[in-house]
Structure 1
Amino acid sequence: MNQKPYSLSQKRSVALGYKEGEQAPSVKAKGRGFTAEAIIERAREAEVPVQEDPALVEMLSQLDINEQIPEQLYEVVAEVFAFVYRMDREKSSRS
């Protein structure tokens, strides 16, 4: 079976954010293709850890900008935030 080579137009990304006092994290940016690449590049420039999870991106990309994540995704998104906090701690301990 032939696999299609990776296509930039197929790449998707979603940026999440959470502010104290909000009920749940929300979608802050999303895009595909060049926009997805720009979101990832900006995150890396800001030293924000990037986690790849195509299935989660597929679900999150259906939400609108500033829309809070649905309750069904709380657990999986909590794992993403735990990953980010862990990476921040590791970086801080090396400094």
Structure 2
Amino acid sequence: MQKAVALKYDYRSAPTVTAKGSGLLADKIMQVAKENNVLLHQSPELVEMLSTLDLGEEIPEALYLAIAEIIAFAHSIKSHQW
């Protein structure tokens, strides 16, 4: 079953979980992200880890590097778009 986790990053503290779900809810999370030009990153292992967190919870320090790489990649893509 499809799962999705949405993160918010405000550049002041660690990213936090803002939405998560599976099945139809995961589809809706991804649809809203696409409609708002939010980069979707597919990593089943990372989603599994993030889905154990509560809404509003900051990501654990062990995931900082992985999430930082995704954020940096998203910024590089956006800076190259017309």
> Normalization by structure 1: what TM-score?
0.82
| Paired AA for residue 39 in structure 1 | I
Q: 1:62 and 2:35 equivalent?
A: no
Quote the residue 1:86 is aligned against. 76
Distance 1:86 1:30 in 2: 25
Distance 1:55 1:37 in 2: 18
Distance 2:21 2:73 in 1: 22
What is the deviation of 1:21?
Answer: 2.2
Unpaired stretches in structure 2, ≥5 consecutive residues: none
Unpaired stretches in structure 1, ≥5 consecutive residues: 1-9
Q: 1:77 and 2:67 equivalent?
A: yes
Distance 1:66 1:81 in 2: 18
What is the deviation of 1:80?
Answer: 1.1
Percent of residue pairs bearing the same amino acid type: 43
The structure that has the greater radius of gyration is 1
Quote the residue 1:4 is aligned against. none
Distance 2:11 2:75 in 1: 15
Distance 1:50 1:17 in 2: 13
Q: 1:21 and 2:7 equivalent?
A: no
Aligned length: 82
> Normalization by structure 2: what TM-score?
0.94
